[in-house]
Structure 1
Amino acid sequence: MSTLRVLIAEDEYLCLVGLQSNIEDLGHQVVGVATDGLQAVEMAIEKKPDLVITDINMPSLDGIEAIKKINEKLFIPSIIVSGYYDENLIKRATKEGVLYYITKPVEMKDLEIAINIASARFEEFKKLHHELKDTKQALEGRKHIEKAKGILMDRMSLTEPEAMKRLQKISRDKNQKLVNVAKDLIKADSLFQN
Protein backbone atom coordinates (compact mmCIF):
# COMPACT_ATOMS: atom_id res chain seq x y z
CA MET A 1 0.00 0.00 0.00
CA SER A 2 1.25 3.47 -0.81
CA THR A 3 1.87 6.12 1.81
CA LEU A 4 -1.33 7.89 2.81
CA ARG A 5 -1.68 11.47 4.00
CA VAL A 6 -3.73 11.16 7.20
CA LEU A 7 -5.67 13.72 9.25
CA ILE A 8 -6.26 12.78 12.89
CA ALA A 9 -9.05 14.31 14.96
CA GLU A 10 -8.78 13.37 18.64
CA ASP A 11 -9.21 15.49 21.77
CA GLU A 12 -7.51 13.09 24.22
CA TYR A 13 -3.79 13.84 24.13
CA LEU A 14 -2.53 10.31 24.90
CA CYS A 15 -4.83 8.74 22.28
CA LEU A 16 -3.75 11.38 19.78
CA VAL A 17 -0.04 10.73 20.36
CA GLY A 18 -0.60 6.96 20.17
CA LEU A 19 -2.55 7.22 16.91
CA GLN A 20 0.01 9.54 15.39
CA SER A 21 2.88 7.23 16.35
CA ASN A 22 1.10 4.13 15.02
CA ILE A 23 0.18 5.82 11.75
CA GLU A 24 3.76 6.93 11.20
CA ASP A 25 5.09 3.48 12.17
CA LEU A 26 2.79 2.02 9.50
CA GLY A 27 4.56 4.23 6.94
CA HIS A 28 1.91 6.92 6.55
CA GLN A 29 2.22 10.68 6.95
CA VAL A 30 0.16 12.68 9.45
CA VAL A 31 -0.68 15.93 7.65
CA GLY A 32 -2.82 17.45 10.37
CA VAL A 33 -4.03 17.04 13.92
CA ALA A 34 -7.36 18.46 15.09
CA THR A 35 -8.60 18.55 18.66
CA ASP A 36 -12.25 19.36 17.91
CA GLY A 37 -14.76 18.57 15.18
CA LEU A 38 -14.91 22.01 13.57
CA GLN A 39 -11.14 22.16 13.32
CA ALA A 40 -11.19 18.69 11.71
CA VAL A 41 -13.63 19.89 9.03
CA GLU A 42 -11.55 23.00 8.26
CA MET A 43 -8.29 21.04 8.12
CA ALA A 44 -9.77 18.32 5.91
CA ILE A 45 -11.06 20.85 3.40
CA GLU A 46 -7.76 22.76 3.45
CA LYS A 47 -5.33 19.82 3.39
CA LYS A 48 -7.41 17.25 1.44
CA PRO A 49 -5.89 14.22 3.16
CA ASP A 50 -6.19 10.67 1.80
CA LEU A 51 -7.79 9.48 5.05
CA VAL A 52 -9.47 10.97 8.13
CA ILE A 53 -9.31 9.17 11.47
CA THR A 54 -11.54 10.78 14.07
CA ASP A 55 -12.80 10.13 17.57
CA ILE A 56 -16.58 10.35 18.00
CA ASN A 57 -16.76 12.38 21.22
CA MET A 58 -15.10 15.71 20.56
CA PRO A 59 -15.77 19.36 21.43
CA SER A 60 -17.68 21.67 19.06
CA LEU A 61 -18.80 18.90 16.70
CA ASP A 62 -18.75 15.14 17.16
CA GLY A 63 -16.65 13.02 14.81
CA ILE A 64 -19.60 11.63 12.85
CA GLU A 65 -21.03 15.10 12.24
CA ALA A 66 -17.55 16.29 11.22
CA ILE A 67 -17.33 13.44 8.67
CA LYS A 68 -20.77 14.40 7.35
CA LYS A 69 -19.66 18.02 6.85
CA ILE A 70 -16.38 16.94 5.22
CA ASN A 71 -18.23 14.62 2.84
CA GLU A 72 -20.53 17.46 1.81
CA LYS A 73 -17.46 19.24 0.38
CA LEU A 74 -15.29 16.33 -0.74
CA PHE A 75 -15.42 12.60 -0.14
CA ILE A 76 -12.48 11.38 1.91
CA PRO A 77 -12.37 7.87 3.37
CA SER A 78 -12.78 7.92 7.12
CA ILE A 79 -12.33 5.75 10.16
CA ILE A 80 -14.13 6.38 13.45
CA VAL A 81 -12.45 5.69 16.79
CA SER A 82 -14.67 5.28 19.83
CA GLY A 83 -14.23 4.47 23.49
CA TYR A 84 -17.05 1.94 23.29
CA TYR A 85 -19.05 -0.23 20.94
CA ASP A 86 -22.47 1.29 20.25
CA GLU A 87 -24.81 -0.12 17.59
CA ASN A 88 -26.59 3.22 17.08
CA LEU A 89 -23.33 5.10 16.61
CA ILE A 90 -22.14 2.47 14.13
CA LYS A 91 -25.36 2.84 12.12
CA ARG A 92 -25.10 6.63 12.22
CA ALA A 93 -21.44 6.51 11.19
CA THR A 94 -22.16 4.12 8.32
CA LYS A 95 -24.99 6.37 7.10
CA GLU A 96 -22.54 9.30 6.91
CA GLY A 97 -20.00 7.35 4.85
CA VAL A 98 -17.59 6.16 7.54
CA LEU A 99 -15.74 3.12 6.21
CA TYR A 100 -14.50 1.55 9.45
CA TYR A 101 -15.16 1.72 13.21
CA ILE A 102 -12.48 0.91 15.81
CA THR A 103 -12.87 0.78 19.57
CA LYS A 104 -10.21 2.04 21.96
CA PRO A 105 -7.56 1.16 22.90
CA VAL A 106 -6.36 1.14 19.29
CA GLU A 107 -3.67 -1.44 18.64
CA MET A 108 -1.34 -0.95 15.68
CA LYS A 109 -2.52 -4.19 14.01
CA ASP A 110 -6.19 -3.08 14.33
CA LEU A 111 -5.29 0.30 12.87
CA GLU A 112 -3.44 -1.33 9.97
CA ILE A 113 -6.45 -3.55 9.21
CA ALA A 114 -8.82 -0.56 9.44
CA ILE A 115 -6.67 1.54 7.09
CA ASN A 116 -6.36 -1.30 4.58
CA ILE A 117 -10.10 -2.05 4.58
CA ALA A 118 -11.13 1.63 4.47
CA SER A 119 -8.73 2.26 1.57
CA ALA A 120 -9.95 -0.79 -0.35
CA ARG A 121 -13.60 0.13 0.18
CA PHE A 122 -12.91 3.69 -0.90
CA GLU A 123 -11.27 2.46 -4.13
CA GLU A 124 -14.37 0.30 -4.78
CA PHE A 125 -16.63 3.33 -4.22
CA LYS A 126 -14.54 5.44 -6.61
CA LYS A 127 -14.66 2.71 -9.25
CA LEU A 128 -18.43 2.33 -8.90
CA HIS A 129 -18.85 6.11 -9.02
CA HIS A 130 -16.87 6.31 -12.28
CA GLU A 131 -18.84 3.39 -13.76
CA LEU A 132 -22.12 5.06 -12.80
CA LYS A 133 -20.96 8.36 -14.27
CA ASP A 134 -19.91 6.63 -17.51
CA THR A 135 -23.24 4.81 -17.69
CA LYS A 136 -25.17 8.04 -17.16
CA GLN A 137 -23.14 9.77 -19.88
CA ALA A 138 -23.69 6.87 -22.27
CA LEU A 139 -27.43 6.91 -21.56
CA GLU A 140 -27.58 10.68 -22.01
CA GLY A 141 -25.65 10.36 -25.28
CA ARG A 142 -28.00 7.61 -26.44
CA LYS A 143 -30.99 9.89 -25.78
CA HIS A 144 -29.47 12.63 -27.96
CA ILE A 145 -28.69 10.19 -30.75
CA GLU A 146 -32.22 8.76 -30.67
CA LYS A 147 -33.74 12.26 -30.78
CA ALA A 148 -31.46 13.27 -33.66
CA LYS A 149 -32.42 10.12 -35.56
CA GLY A 150 -36.07 10.99 -35.02
CA ILE A 151 -35.50 14.48 -36.43
CA LEU A 152 -33.81 13.08 -39.53
CA MET A 153 -36.55 10.50 -39.97
CA ASP A 154 -39.24 13.22 -39.80
CA ARG A 155 -37.49 15.87 -41.89
CA MET A 156 -36.00 13.62 -44.55
CA SER A 157 -38.48 10.71 -44.53
CA LEU A 158 -35.72 8.24 -43.64
CA THR A 159 -35.99 4.86 -41.98
CA GLU A 160 -34.29 4.46 -38.60
CA PRO A 161 -31.25 2.60 -40.08
CA GLU A 162 -30.92 5.26 -42.79
CA ALA A 163 -31.06 8.06 -40.21
CA MET A 164 -28.38 6.31 -38.14
CA LYS A 165 -26.14 5.88 -41.21
CA ARG A 166 -26.60 9.57 -42.01
CA LEU A 167 -25.58 10.58 -38.48
CA GLN A 168 -22.56 8.27 -38.61
CA LYS A 169 -21.50 9.71 -41.99
CA ILE A 170 -21.73 13.29 -40.68
CA SER A 171 -19.74 12.20 -37.63
CA ARG A 172 -16.98 10.72 -39.80
CA ASP A 173 -16.94 13.61 -42.27
CA LYS A 174 -16.69 16.21 -39.48
CA ASN A 175 -14.41 14.02 -37.37
CA GLN A 176 -16.69 14.59 -34.36
CA LYS A 177 -18.19 12.25 -31.83
CA LEU A 178 -21.60 10.92 -32.81
CA VAL A 179 -23.21 12.41 -29.70
CA ASN A 180 -21.83 15.88 -30.54
CA VAL A 181 -23.23 15.64 -34.07
CA ALA A 182 -26.57 14.61 -32.58
CA LYS A 183 -26.56 17.57 -30.16
CA ASP A 184 -25.73 19.98 -33.01
CA LEU A 185 -28.56 18.58 -35.12
CA ILE A 186 -31.03 18.87 -32.23
CA LYS A 187 -29.91 22.46 -31.60
CA ALA A 188 -30.24 23.36 -35.29
CA ASP A 189 -33.67 21.76 -35.45
CA SER A 190 -34.83 23.75 -32.43
CA LEU A 191 -34.18 26.95 -34.40
CA PHE A 192 -36.85 25.87 -36.89
CA GLN A 193 -39.40 25.04 -34.16
CA ASN A 194 -40.25 28.70 -33.43
Structure 2
Amino acid sequence: MKKKLRVLIAEDEYLCLLGLRANIEELGHVVIAEATDGKSAVELAIKKKPDIVITDINMPILDGLEVIKNINETLFIPSIIVSGYYDENLIKRATEEGVLYYLVKPIDFKDIKIAIEITSARFEEFKRLQDELQDTKKALDARKHIEKAKGILMDRMKLKEPEAMKRLQKMSRDNNQKLVDVAKDLIKADSLFQQ
Protein backbone atom coordinates (compact mmCIF):
# COMPACT_ATOMS: atom_id res chain seq x y z
CA MET A 1 0.00 0.00 0.00
CA LYS A 2 1.38 3.36 -1.01
CA LYS A 3 1.56 6.14 1.53
CA LYS A 4 -1.72 8.00 1.92
CA LEU A 5 -0.89 11.66 1.25
CA ARG A 6 -2.51 14.69 2.87
CA VAL A 7 -3.27 17.09 0.01
CA LEU A 8 -4.11 20.79 -0.16
CA ILE A 9 -5.95 21.91 -3.29
CA ALA A 10 -5.98 25.58 -4.33
CA GLU A 11 -8.42 26.10 -7.19
CA ASP A 12 -10.89 28.94 -7.75
CA GLU A 13 -13.03 27.12 -10.33
CA TYR A 14 -15.55 25.05 -8.39
CA LEU A 15 -15.97 22.27 -10.97
CA CYS A 16 -12.19 21.85 -11.34
CA LEU A 17 -11.86 21.73 -7.55
CA LEU A 18 -14.51 18.99 -7.34
CA GLY A 19 -12.84 17.01 -10.11
CA LEU A 20 -9.40 17.25 -8.50
CA ARG A 21 -10.77 16.26 -5.10
CA ALA A 22 -12.61 13.25 -6.57
CA ASN A 23 -9.47 12.05 -8.39
CA ILE A 24 -7.24 12.54 -5.35
CA GLU A 25 -9.65 10.66 -3.09
CA GLU A 26 -10.02 7.88 -5.68
CA LEU A 27 -6.22 7.50 -5.53
CA GLY A 28 -6.57 6.87 -1.79
CA HIS A 29 -5.25 10.23 -0.61
CA VAL A 30 -6.97 12.71 1.70
CA VAL A 31 -7.81 16.31 0.83
CA ILE A 32 -7.12 18.11 4.12
CA ALA A 33 -7.79 21.64 2.86
CA GLU A 34 -9.21 23.56 -0.07
CA ALA A 35 -8.54 27.19 -0.96
CA THR A 36 -10.20 29.37 -3.57
CA ASP A 37 -7.62 32.18 -3.42
CA GLY A 38 -3.85 32.33 -3.13
CA LYS A 39 -3.68 34.04 0.26
CA SER A 40 -5.85 31.34 1.88
CA ALA A 41 -3.77 28.63 0.19
CA VAL A 42 -0.57 29.94 1.80
CA GLU A 43 -2.19 30.28 5.23
CA LEU A 44 -3.72 26.79 5.06
CA ALA A 45 -0.46 25.20 3.86
CA ILE A 46 1.53 26.74 6.71
CA LYS A 47 -1.14 25.85 9.28
CA LYS A 48 -1.96 22.29 8.12
CA LYS A 49 1.41 21.25 6.63
CA PRO A 50 0.08 18.99 3.85
CA ASP A 51 2.27 16.38 2.15
CA ILE A 52 1.60 17.98 -1.24
CA VAL A 53 0.08 21.20 -2.62
CA ILE A 54 -1.82 21.26 -5.91
CA THR A 55 -2.56 24.80 -7.02
CA ASP A 56 -4.02 26.43 -10.09
CA ILE A 57 -1.73 29.06 -11.56
CA ASN A 58 -4.49 31.68 -11.99
CA MET A 59 -5.74 32.38 -8.48
CA PRO A 60 -7.24 35.52 -6.95
CA ILE A 61 -5.06 37.67 -4.62
CA LEU A 62 -1.85 35.63 -5.18
CA ASP A 63 -1.21 33.54 -8.29
CA GLY A 64 -0.22 29.90 -7.93
CA LEU A 65 3.48 30.59 -8.34
CA GLU A 66 3.40 33.28 -5.64
CA VAL A 67 1.56 30.75 -3.44
CA ILE A 68 4.39 28.22 -3.89
CA LYS A 69 7.06 30.89 -3.36
CA ASN A 70 5.41 32.09 -0.11
CA ILE A 71 4.95 28.56 1.21
CA ASN A 72 8.56 27.62 0.39
CA GLU A 73 9.84 30.62 2.35
CA THR A 74 8.45 29.00 5.49
CA LEU A 75 8.56 25.26 4.75
CA PHE A 76 9.20 23.20 1.66
CA ILE A 77 6.14 21.26 0.57
CA PRO A 78 6.19 19.46 -2.79
CA SER A 79 3.91 21.19 -5.25
CA ILE A 80 2.08 20.68 -8.52
CA ILE A 81 0.97 23.64 -10.63
CA VAL A 82 -2.17 23.39 -12.75
CA SER A 83 -2.59 25.70 -15.74
CA GLY A 84 -5.16 26.21 -18.43
CA TYR A 85 -2.42 26.36 -21.05
CA TYR A 86 1.15 25.38 -21.85
CA ASP A 87 3.49 28.38 -21.48
CA GLU A 88 7.31 28.17 -21.56
CA ASN A 89 7.72 31.27 -19.37
CA LEU A 90 5.33 29.94 -16.74
CA ILE A 91 7.11 26.59 -16.75
CA LYS A 92 10.45 28.37 -16.25
CA ARG A 93 9.02 30.46 -13.39
CA ALA A 94 7.45 27.35 -11.85
CA THR A 95 10.79 25.55 -11.92
CA GLU A 96 12.53 28.53 -10.28
CA GLU A 97 9.95 28.54 -7.47
CA GLY A 98 10.53 24.85 -6.73
CA VAL A 99 7.41 23.43 -8.40
CA LEU A 100 7.94 19.73 -9.03
CA TYR A 101 5.27 19.12 -11.69
CA TYR A 102 3.23 21.17 -14.18
CA LEU A 103 -0.19 19.96 -15.38
CA VAL A 104 -2.27 21.42 -18.22
CA LYS A 105 -6.08 21.31 -18.01
CA PRO A 106 -8.20 19.34 -18.58
CA ILE A 107 -6.79 16.93 -16.01
CA ASP A 108 -7.97 13.36 -15.79
CA PHE A 109 -7.37 10.61 -13.24
CA LYS A 110 -4.28 9.27 -15.03
CA ASP A 111 -2.67 12.76 -15.21
CA ILE A 112 -3.08 13.48 -11.50
CA LYS A 113 -1.92 9.96 -10.57
CA ILE A 114 1.32 10.37 -12.56
CA ALA A 115 1.85 13.92 -11.26
CA ILE A 116 1.48 12.86 -7.62
CA GLU A 117 3.72 9.81 -8.02
CA ILE A 118 6.51 11.74 -9.77
CA THR A 119 6.25 14.70 -7.39
CA SER A 120 6.39 12.41 -4.35
CA ALA A 121 9.37 10.49 -5.75
CA ARG A 122 11.26 13.69 -6.59
CA PHE A 123 10.56 15.09 -3.14
CA GLU A 124 11.76 11.89 -1.41
CA GLU A 125 14.96 12.06 -3.47
CA PHE A 126 15.38 15.73 -2.54
CA LYS A 127 14.93 14.89 1.18
CA ARG A 128 17.41 12.01 0.93
CA LEU A 129 20.02 14.28 -0.66
CA GLN A 130 19.36 16.95 1.95
CA ASP A 131 19.85 14.37 4.74
CA GLU A 132 23.10 13.18 3.15
CA LEU A 133 24.31 16.77 2.94
CA GLN A 134 23.46 17.30 6.63
CA ASP A 135 25.31 14.10 7.57
CA THR A 136 28.35 15.25 5.57
CA LYS A 137 28.30 18.66 7.25
CA LYS A 138 28.08 17.01 10.69
CA ALA A 139 30.97 14.67 9.84
CA LEU A 140 33.13 17.59 8.64
CA ASP A 141 32.27 19.60 11.75
CA ALA A 142 33.14 16.62 13.99
CA ARG A 143 36.41 16.09 12.09
CA LYS A 144 37.33 19.76 12.59
CA HIS A 145 36.83 19.49 16.37
CA ILE A 146 38.74 16.21 16.60
CA GLU A 147 41.67 17.62 14.61
CA LYS A 148 41.79 20.71 16.84
CA ALA A 149 41.65 18.59 20.00
CA LYS A 150 44.46 16.37 18.67
CA GLY A 151 46.50 19.51 18.02
CA ILE A 152 45.98 20.66 21.60
CA LEU A 153 47.11 17.29 22.97
CA MET A 154 50.11 17.23 20.63
CA ASP A 155 51.11 20.72 21.73
CA ARG A 156 50.46 20.45 25.50
CA MET A 157 51.65 16.87 25.99
CA LYS A 158 54.29 16.81 23.24
CA LEU A 159 52.62 13.82 21.58
CA LYS A 160 52.80 12.65 18.01
CA GLU A 161 49.51 12.61 16.05
CA PRO A 162 48.78 8.84 16.40
CA GLU A 163 49.34 9.01 20.19
CA ALA A 164 47.11 12.10 20.48
CA MET A 165 44.37 10.26 18.59
CA LYS A 166 44.74 7.19 20.82
CA ARG A 167 44.53 9.44 23.89
CA LEU A 168 41.30 11.03 22.58
CA GLN A 169 39.82 7.61 21.81
CA LYS A 170 40.72 6.34 25.31
CA MET A 171 39.08 9.41 26.88
CA SER A 172 36.02 8.73 24.75
CA ARG A 173 35.81 5.09 25.91
CA ASP A 174 36.59 5.86 29.57
CA ASN A 175 33.92 8.58 29.76
CA ASN A 176 31.44 6.73 27.52
CA GLN A 177 31.19 9.83 25.32
CA LYS A 178 31.27 10.36 21.59
CA LEU A 179 34.71 11.24 20.28
CA VAL A 180 33.48 14.61 19.00
CA ASP A 181 32.04 15.48 22.43
CA VAL A 182 35.35 14.64 24.13
CA ALA A 183 37.11 16.82 21.54
CA LYS A 184 34.73 19.74 22.17
CA ASP A 185 35.21 19.42 25.96
CA LEU A 186 38.98 19.39 25.51
CA ILE A 187 38.87 22.48 23.28
CA LYS A 188 36.64 24.26 25.82
CA ALA A 189 38.96 23.34 28.72
CA ASP A 190 42.00 24.48 26.74
CA SER A 191 40.37 27.84 26.01
CA LEU A 192 39.98 28.40 29.78
CA PHE A 193 43.74 28.05 30.23
CA GLN A 194 44.37 30.66 27.55
CA GLN A 195 42.34 33.39 29.27
Shared fold (TM-score, shorter chain, > 0.5)? yes
How far is 1:174 from its partner? 0.1
Is structure 2 residue 117 aligned with structure 1 residue 124?
A: no
Q: Percent identity?
A: 77
Letter in 1 for 2:169: Q
Counterpart Cα distance in 1 of 2:88 and 2:192: 59
Secondary structure, counterpart of 2:82 in structure 1: strand
Q: Determine the structure 1 residue equivalent to 2:135.
A: 134
CA distances 1:23-66 after superposition (whole Å, capped 9, x unpaired): 11111111000011110010011111111000011111111111
Secondary structure, counterpart of 1:85 in structure 2: coil
Letter in 2 for 1:158: L
Secondary structure, counterpart of 2:4 in structure 1: coil
Secondary structure, counterpart of 1:176 in structure 2: coil
Counterpart Cα distance in 2 of 1:68 and 1:131: 25
Letter in 1 for 2:104: T
- Which segments of 5 or more consecutive residues in structure 1 lack a partner in the other structure? none
Residues 90-109 of structure 1: matches in 2 within 5 Å?
Answer: 90-109=91-110
Show structure 1 runs of 4+ deviating over 3 A.
none
CA distances 1:90-117 after superposition (whole Å, capped 9, x unpaired): 1111111111000000111011000000
Q: Determine the structure 2 residue equivalent to 1:181.
A: 182
Q: Determine the structure 2 residue equivalent to 1:146.
A: 147
Residues 5-154 of structure 1: matches in 2 within 5 Å?
Answer: 5-154=6-155
Secondary structure, counterpart of 2:76 in structure 1: coil
Secondary structure, counterpart of 1:105 in structure 2: coil
Secondary structure, counterpart of 1:3 in structure 2: coil
Counterpart Cα distance in 2 of 1:11 and 1:193: 66
Letter in 2 for 1:148: A
How far is 1:69 from its partner? 1.1
Letter in 2 for 1:182: A
Counterpart Cα distance in 2 of 1:155 and 1:135: 30
Secondary structure, counterpart of 2:194 in structure 1: coil
Letter in 2 for 1:22: N
Counterpart Cα distance in 2 of 1:89 and 1:189: 57
RMSD: 0.7
- Which segments of 5 or more consecutive residues in structure 2 lack a partner in the other structure? none
Q: Determine the structure 2 residue equivalent to 1:164.
A: 165
